[in-house]
Amino acid sequence: MTGPLDVRRVMAALPHRYPLLLVDRVERIEIDRSITAIKAVSMNEQFFQGHFPGRPIMPGVLIVEALAQAAGVLAVESLGLADSGKLVYFMAIEGAKFRQPVEPGCLLQLDVEFVQKRASVCKFAGRASVDGKLAAEANFTAMIADPPA
């Protein structure tokens, strides 16, 4: 088990950058098994300007994206893909459920585990929570491939 990993290490694993980098820190990573990461949700996020004025709520699709990015870090670290040029692409999302709103000022905890791990396709189960309360969950599949030409 390793961790924590700071945002520089996260950025080394993921191609995402502001404003779409949704993992700020990795608390713990158990290679080939699971990851716990954090997204610090700030009122300064661009999406809060329109979602929703007067009642800011993090869009559910971005919570799922944050889970997928945490899974990307887990896959890169577990499969030894750092500096390989390979990318982790979303292929499918299943069973996404949203349990409570995620508001500015909270720490969104992202817990993701491998369900199936192969060299080119991996399946994950993810849960996002705030203060120990489940906010969202989803199962998803990702493909490891070369970037587009």
Q: Catalytic residue numbers?
A: 51
Start-to-end Cα distance in the chain: 35
Cα(27)–Cα(39) distance, integer angstroms: 11
24: left (phi over 0), alpha (psi -120 to 50) or beta: alpha
Closest by CA position to 113, among listed 43, 53, 36: 36
In sequence order, the 6+-apart residues with CB closer than 8 A to the CB of 112 are: 34, 35, 37, 67, 70, 71, 74, 124, 125, 126, 127
Angle at 68 between CA 65 and CA 71, to 5 degrees: 155
